[in-house]
Amino acid sequence: MAEWKCVQCGKCCFMYGTMIPATDQDMERWEKEGRNDILDRTKVIRDPATGRIIAAELWFDPYTGKSYAYCPWIKRKKERAGLKQRDKSGNPSGDKVYCQIHDTKPQYCRDYICRRHLK
């Protein structure tokens, strides 16, 4: 199987970061880790009859309930160094980007393969 290396361009995160679901395992892990900051940005859909979670969508502003324009966990290198604020459009500027929740990011993000950087 071909290997690929993430070059941290951030395009996948900017383009698809608000179109992914959370898995049951993601939700359980975030609960165990006490990551209310993440859970607060997850829209949970429950079966009205049983109360069971049937879906969990990402990412929603906890104050307005609206979907973010792009994933709120994206951080650009210059931002990390405190040099520049993110622009309102969210378009990649060419800076390297980082995931602020890398260690516990959603399974969909972990499984993503960028075909552009296959070797």
Query: What residues between 37 and 66 interact with ligand SF4 by CB under 6 A?
Result: none
Binding of ligand SF4 by 109 (CB under 6 A): yes
Q: How far apart are CA 50 and CA 10, in angstroms?
A: 39
57 by Cβ neighbours in 10 Å (0-12 / 13-18 / 19+) ranks as middle
Among 42, 74, 76, 95, binds ligand SF4 (CB under 6 A): 74
Binding of ligand SF4 by 73 (CB under 6 A): yes
Q: Which is nearer to ligand SF4, 6 or 47 (CB)?
A: 6
User: Among candidates 4, 73, 78, which has minimal Cα distance to 40?
Assistant: 73
Say how many residues touch ligand SF4, by CB under 6 A: 10
Question: Using CB under 6 A, which of the segments 24-32, 40-48, 49-57, 71-79 binds ligand SF4?
Answer: 71-79
Instruction: Measure Cα distances from 1 to 4, 5, 64, 108, 118 in Å.
Output: 10, 13, 44, 19, 10
Q: Which residues bind ligand SF4 (CB under 6 A)?
A: 13, 17, 71, 73-74, 99, 101, 105-106, 109
